[in-house]
Amino acid sequence: MSIVNAARAFVACTFALAGIGIAQAQGVIKIGLVAEFSGPFAQYGQQIYGGMKTYMKQHGDTVAGKKIEIIQKDVGGPAPDVAKRLAQELVTRDKVDFLVGFGLTPNALAAAPIATEAKVPMVIMNAATSIITTKSPYIVRTSMTLPQITQPVAVWAAKNGIKKVYTVVADYGPGIDAEGAFISAFKAGGGEIVGSVRTPLQNPEYAPFIQRVKDAKPDAVFLFLPAGEQGIAFMKGYKERGLADAGIKLIATGDITDDGVLEAMGDPTLGLITSFHYSAAHDSPENKAFVKTYAEVNGTKLRPNFMAVGGYDGMAAIYEALKKTGGDTNGDKVIAAMKGLKLTSPRGPLTIDPDTRDPVQTVYIRKVEKTGGGLYNVEFERLENQKDPGK
């Protein structure tokens, strides 16, 4: 080979390698998942990630010709400083194209400024305090807002002979939203609030609160607690202190009868009325396929709950947006593509509101019943196209 030809070959080879390098860099879309994978809220991360994996099992791990890679980070619990640091590291070090996950409100709020600064789309797969989407134009939510899912049970209670209610909520964003939405809708329906109490988010001890409710003799107690162990503890106290026997009904958002813990709470939940956007018993072909694939991917120990659906639909929103942008991950283009997006979710129809970037969806009134497969939230009324009533 002449020197000239050798030089040409070298240059060609260098360009080819550079080309491969560029092709590879362009060929991967990185998703940074920040969620709770340890501590008392560990099921949040498990459910969200389980739902994301379910979507990828059904739809493949490439979209618009690019491979999807998930980088998983454990925030450990309600830890805003950690959530912020993890989001920052994912953006600057790992160069993620999306931030996703966020089971708990304080973690989502802490990471919002990172999304804004980096212009990285942030998909909230659970955290449900109303204001979250107002904290960054790069946030889209695929879960719910507390006012959206609370108002229907307040209206239902007022129409169904419940006159006096005592409210009990966890003392942080979603609890305060639930309390406000319940009180205004229940009063508008002619109901009376005889007491309200807020319980600590960390290490709550419910006995004194439950006693206070019992002494006030309401027709019902309205409850919002973050899904999981807290609901189990409250239900135990409600039974032990004889509230049901005293004729005090329990009504709640579906966080309390979350499908992941319903069996563990057992028969005391029978007959409990809740309003919510997802039940594992929802009767649709999409939900049947979702529940089946979820079990194939994640095993059968944990039934998929609303957080799993939030994760699943979050991935759906990402895939659909990337199809529209032709794989372009530019934050402004992705968010524009997500606005107004319509999905047929396992929960029912879901639209991303173009104005608020919050989900618009059907909210169901459900009752816990024992079916062939165990305890389930059986839907018996539906309110379509529900938005956050305060927005």
CB closer to ligand PHB, 79 vs 227? 227
CB closer to ligand PHB, 112 vs 337? 112
- Residue 104 near residue 174 (C-beta atoms within 8 A): no
Nearest to 214 by CA among 180, 186, 248: 248
Q: Which residues pair with 1 in a beta bridge?
A: none
Q: Which residues pair with 30 in a beta bridge?
A: 69
**At its nearest, how many Å lie between ligand PHB and the CB of residue 48?**
11
C-alpha 311/C-alpha 297 separation (Å) is 14
Task: Render the burial of 26-60: b for 16+ CB within 10 Å, e for the rest.
Answer: eeebbbbbbbbbeeebbbbbbbbbbbbbbbbebee
**At its nearest, how many Å lie between ligand PHB and the CB of residue 102?**
8
**Region binding ligand PHB by CB under 6 A among candidate stretches 51-59, 100-108, 111-119, 276-284:** 100-108
Nearest to 317 by CA among 333, 296, 334: 334
Q: Is 174 in the site for ligand PHB (CB under 6 A)?
A: yes
CB closer to ligand PHB, 104 vs 111? 104
Question: Please, which of residues 114-133 interact with ligand PHB by CB under 6 A?
Answer: 127-129
Q: Which residues pair with 23 in a beta bridge?
A: none
Q: Is 255 in the site for ligand PHB (CB under 6 A)?
A: yes
The beta strand positions in the chain, using DSSP E, are: 28-35, 62-63, 66-74, 98-101, 122-124, 139-141, 164-170, 192-199, 220-224, 249-253, 273-276, 342-345, 348-352, 359-371, 374-386
Phi first, then psi: what are they for 348, rounded to 5°? 130, -165
CB closer to ligand PHB, 231 vs 331? 231
Q: Give how many residues touch ligand PHB by CB under 6 A.
A: 10
Q: Name the amino acid, one letter, at 210.
A: I
Q: Is 148 in the site for ligand PHB (CB under 6 A)?
A: no
CB closer to ligand PHB, 105 vs 377? 105
**At its nearest, how many Å lie between ligand PHB and the CB of residue 178?**
9
**At its nearest, how many Å lie between ligand PHB and the CB of residue 386?**
16
**At its nearest, how many Å lie between ligand PHB and the CB of residue 179?**
13
Figure out which of the listed residues 104, 169, 280, 352 binds ligand PHB, where binding follows CB under 6 A: 104
**Region binding ligand PHB by CB under 6 A among candidate stretches 32-40, 56-64, 103-111, 311-319:** 103-111
CB closer to ligand PHB, 129 vs 148? 129
Question: Please, which of residues 220-239 interact with ligand PHB by CB under 6 A?
Answer: 226-227
The pair of three-digit structure tokens given for residue 129, joined into one six-digit string:
């305090």
3-class DSSP state of 253: strand
CB closer to ligand PHB, 48 vs 360? 48
- Residue 87 near residue 112 (C-beta atoms within 8 A): no
**At its nearest, how many Å lie between ligand PHB and the CB of residue 373?**
23
**At its nearest, how many Å lie between ligand PHB and the CB of residue 115?**
17
* Binding region for ligand PHB (CB under 6 A): 103-105, 127-129, 174, 226-227, 255
